[in-house]
Structure 1
């Protein structure tokens, strides 16, 4: 009987599969849980997407709306008609330019002829290329000297203008330098020991470099002033007059702006030589910009803004306030409402301002709250809505603010 029992036990053991010891309960939990992915910290730009905010991570859609007469009512000229350098034409066409806009048609041949220019045209009609193209055509890349200066009132506009010069002149071999207050003076001085052909910046910094003898202006025969009405304000005009004194007598001065107050006349009479005047301002605002106003009390403004975000089809929007404190407070409110939002103003660190400008331009965020720092010359084509949260302090400020919408023709409500 014992032998039979042993045989039965051996037979049962052969029939049973190998059993593993029961796993630890903690090991079971670890096996069941999928691997955790790293979640970045929430920021205002990552607020939930809505009609007004849009998906913050997605770039705004390309603007396919038709262009208006502000840029299409031309004489029918082509860029080839101006006998530009082949390399410059390549850069122009690669940048997406097809035919010159009205302000470019009027100013390019006159500037190439060497005349001083006083040009008034609406914001967003191609003024930057209207003076950059003549500068690139007349400069000589084989000559190791500063040959042209472009003055602008803000650091952001200097960076944007510099990029236009680099894009249009990418096949010409020019060295373009940007110098503004807030950047390292030491780095700028070291940079000027190397070849620089085109110098772009704010008046105070460029005058400082000229007075130190670092920026040699003896071969600089062209000076272009973008947003000239701001540059000829009491804040800047004395600096510009001192800067022009470093240039040769046979210099050429180009002034471009959407508005020209009375103070421009004194500058013109004092420093310009029979300037050719261009005025394309039959109307003050772009034809593609539709304007609305809402009469609301201060406490109702945020509610009204929330309604606009819900109702409007926004690619990107800029919302203007009159003070830096209100800029930050409003940006916080907009984020709390659930819309993606950045803010920018003059009291921010330059590095932070550059980052916000770059990210907003690349579509990282749909809405930007700004002080009047952003009213002049900034070109972000996908901005189709501009909101004046605070009433602008002057008519000129209003024109420059709403000029951020409808750039180069496509319509957009402010």
Structure 2
């Protein structure tokens, strides 16, 4: 194996992390002595780095074929892992494959095999069947959030993928729960289990639990009052069904609560737009299904609101994992209708919130999001966008917020007070000598 070209200290510096936590150290140490590892650790505890570092140790830089594959249950999680891997700055290529992404783009990215491949079961299986993925050199298999990717709906594709990988030497399975039996086809051989769940449950002082009683079965009015009471802090509202997500979002909008909704039936651009607006502060409330309970690493989410009761304790755990991540604090709030009771896994002594009679609408967000119809494939990057908006849109540095560049389009947050003038100024201007559509993101 050719000598590695990365150092952990440099990777941590690139990620702005001072040192590995105990779970990450244990994973790295275990990988030196064991071929197969099961890593159980709470959401937000840093599991991505805990499997990427051992994975890197197995990479042979002289080998130009794909050597590691990471299988995840959602496109959001796949994109999150891709982002972390790129920020690590190793120089190794990673390719992300998932449903809703143009297969032609992925096929082009796979012509030169990436060292690491990350994706969802259906899309990865499709590429393997089409011969787009070179599987012979893949020796490391990671199943992130394996409790979800090994559920019955995924098992056929998972079995096909794993059976196609004939030369797996190392397996790392991660989860925030212990609820799933691991099928034989995964091929575990005397795995080393690292269980950090019990320790983190004892130390989870960062997460507070509260509940509020709704006067009626329909909880919309109570949710509205609660969000007013919370005062515009970053909040995710979880519903159990897609139609309930849209209905609840519309009710909040009509009452003056600026929000976005997010669920699996939306087009990819709509999903990207909703998440970007939530990340950059254009909206502080995201109404969603359990699709957002995994794979979203959005900093500073203060409140998780269970508008509908979670179906299982595992779902409750994953929802709550969107807040109080790493060393941050957060609060999970359950809204109960008159006929509902706290689930048995929730301590009955948790604090009940008494909502004030008078409601005051939270202050409106100070940012808006622009959609720019140009992205990575047009050779447009963040520096280009900042330069364009500064020079042509006459925006100052402090007027430009978070920028996200996708393959064919980009989103950028700008001060709401400057949006109208800036849009007028850039209307007939060009980015990279090309005139592109620029508008307020829908």
TM superposition score normalised by structure 1: 0.75
- Gaps (5+ residues) in structure 2? 333-442
Q: Are 1:376 and 2:294 an aligned pair? A: yes
- Gaps (5+ residues) in structure 1? 1-82
Distance 1:150 1:267 in 2: 18
1:297–1:234 Cα change, 3 Å: farther
Deviant stretches of 4+, over 3 Å: 83-88, 283-286, 297-300
Q: Secondary structure at the match of 2:153?
A: coil
Q: Deviations over 1:156-198 (max 9, x none)?
A: 1111111011011x2x211111000121222222221123111
The residue number in structure 2 matching 1:226 is 144
The residue number in structure 2 matching 1:275 is 191
Q: Are 1:132 and 2:52 an aligned pair? A: yes
User: Is the CA contact (8 Å cut-off) linking 2:34 and 2:191 kept in structure 1?
Assistant: no
* C-alpha displacement of 1:395: 1.2
| Larger deviation, residues 397-406 vs 110-119 | 110-119
* Pairs aligned (count): 328
TM superposition score normalised by structure 2: 0.70
Q: Secondary structure at the match of 2:209?
A: coil
Distance 2:52 2:282 in 1: 29
* C-alpha displacement of 1:351: 1.9
The residue number in structure 2 matching 1:8 is none
Q: Deviations over 1:260-301 (max 9, x none)?
A: 22422x448x61011000111216583311111223254552
* C-alpha displacement of 1:106: 1.6
The structure, 1 or 2, with the larger RCO (C-alpha pairs under 8 Å, 6+ apart) is 1
| Structure 1 residues 139-154: aligned runs within 5 Å | 139-154=59-74
Distance 1:163 1:276 in 2: 28
* C-alpha displacement of 1:377: 2.9
User: Is the CA contact (8 Å cut-off) linking 1:314 and 1:385 kept in structure 2?
Assistant: no
* C-alpha displacement of 1:331: 1.0
Name whichever structure is richer in strand by fraction: 2
The residue number in structure 1 matching 2:357 is none
Supply the RMSD in Å over aligned alpha carbons.
2.1
User: Is the CA contact (8 Å cut-off) linking 1:259 and 1:396 kept in structure 2?
Assistant: yes
User: Is the CA contact (8 Å cut-off) linking 2:76 and 2:295 kept in structure 1?
Assistant: no
User: Is the CA contact (8 Å cut-off) linking 2:12 and 2:19 kept in structure 1?
Assistant: no
Structure ID, larger Rg: 1
| Structure 1 residues 310-389: aligned runs within 5 Å | 310-312=228-230, 315-389=233-307
User: Is the CA contact (8 Å cut-off) linking 1:123 and 1:377 kept in structure 2?
Assistant: no
